[in-house]
């Protein structure tokens, strides 16, 4: 069996607690047949109130959460494989839960321009589009400017049914990118007869550097405003690798202008929403 990838850093998550002392919930995700660890599996936990946390497994298949004592629904996801379990976290004792999935997804998709729909899907915008996407602690502390490229599978109703990474943002932002991707809604694509059809959509999510947002517009919770020519302020920031540049002593950096890696569509696994 080929090595079980893609590489992904174990995400550091916040405590799911209401004033109670936190306990450790740890575990591994393993291939059901070979017993090998699965790297990059998505692990979601949720309590009875509906609060949830999501992380991804490290190279050894491990994951970990800090949670308050209680009963949790744990869902393991990798490609099309999915498994759910319930775990009881008790006060004063760490808990461990192992998930076993079919890790060899063996999936190849083809992006074929010949099958482009007659009418492309159109994103349905909302007031939330003017806000920056959520940042991780690591992205804030390192003042990162980064972006993710997602391949979305949009169905006939315009809903995102699954997604995969064509470029990962790093800085512990992968769970935020996944959550933002599944929030998207579209007016569905249509074929030559006007019928709604499913299609793939390439979608970027950008996290401008927090210091640059503060410098450029005085706040860090709002995306740069559009200019008259259709470009936003961030478009005038030089791309990483384009040469030496410094705005002034407040912020020095480059924009992440990377494009999606279409070859990643063949090696990355699909991620499905947790219901």
Q: Residue 232: is its pLDDT beyond 50?
A: yes
Please indicate whether residue 232 or residue 263 has the higher confidence score (pLDDT): 263
Q: Residue 12: is its pLDDT beyond 50?
A: no
Quote the pLDDT of residue 252: 55
pLDDT tens string 76-89: 877 656 778 888 88
Quote the pLDDT of residue 120: 78
Q: Residue 13: is its pLDDT beyond 50?
A: no
**What band does 190 get if pLDDT is binned at 50, 70 and 90?**
confident
Buried residues in 216-231 as b, exposed as e (16+ CB within 10 A): beeebeebbeeeeeee
Q: Residue 260: is its pLDDT beyond 70?
A: yes
- In the chain, the percentage of residues whose pLDDT exceeds 70 is 75
Q: Residue 156: is its pLDDT beyond 50?
A: yes
Quote the pLDDT of residue 168: 94
- Taking the whole predicted model, whether its pTM rises above 0.95 is answered as no
Q: Residue 31: is its pLDDT beyond 70?
A: yes
Q: Name the residue ranges covered by the structural domains of the chain.
A: 23-101, 113-267
Mean pLDDT of 26-51: 82
SS3 label, residue 44: strand
**What band does 26 get if pLDDT is binned at 50, 70 and 90?**
very high
Q: Rounded CA gap, 275 and 64, in Å?
A: 21
For the chain, report the end-to-end CA distance as a whole number of angstroms. 30
Helices within the chain (DSSP H only):
137-141, 174-183, 210-217, 264-267
| DSSP-derived secondary structure letter, 32 | T
* CATH H superfamily, domain 23-101: Immunoglobulins (2.60.40.10)
**What band does 247 get if pLDDT is binned at 50, 70 and 90?**
very low
Q: Residue 111: is its pLDDT beyond 70?
A: no
Q: Which burial class, exposed, middle or buried, applies to 136 when counting CB atoms under 10 A from its CB (0-12, 13-18, 19+)?
A: buried
């Amino acid at each position: 069996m080929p090595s079980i990838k893609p590489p992904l850093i174990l995400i550091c998550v916040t405590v799911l607690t209401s004033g109670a002392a936190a306990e450790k919930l740890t575990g591994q995700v393993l291939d059901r047949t070979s017993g090998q660890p699965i790297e990059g599996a998505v692990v979601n936990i949720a309590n009875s109130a509906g609060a949830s946390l999501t992380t991804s497994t490290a190279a050894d298949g491990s994951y970990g959460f800090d949670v308050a004592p209680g009963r949790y629904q744990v869902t393991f996801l990798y490609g099309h494989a999915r498994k759910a379990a319930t775990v009881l976290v008790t006060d004063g004792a760490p808990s461990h839960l192992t998930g076993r999935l079919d890790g060899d997804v063996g999936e190849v998709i083809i992006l074929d321009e010949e099958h482009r729909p007659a009418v492309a899907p159109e994103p349905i915008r909302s007031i939330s589009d003017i806000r920056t996407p959520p940042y991780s602690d690591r992205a804030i502390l390192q003042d990162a400017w980064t972006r993710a490229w997602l391949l979305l599978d949009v169905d006939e109703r315009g809903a995102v049914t699954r997604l995969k990474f064509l470029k990962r943002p790093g800085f512990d932002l992968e769970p935020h990118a996944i959550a933002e991707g599944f929030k998207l809604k579209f007016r569905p694509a249509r074929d030559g007869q006007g019928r709604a059809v499913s299609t793939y959509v390439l979608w970027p999510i950008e996290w401008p550097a927090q210091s640059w947002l503060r410098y450029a517009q005085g706040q860090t919770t709002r995306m740069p405003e559009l200019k008259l020519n259709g470009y936003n302020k961030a478009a005038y920031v030089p791309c990483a690798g384009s040469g030496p540049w410094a705005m002034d002593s407040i912020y020095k950096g480059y924009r992440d202008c990377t494009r999606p890696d279409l070859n990643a569509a063949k090696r990355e696994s699909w991620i499905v929403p947790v219901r």
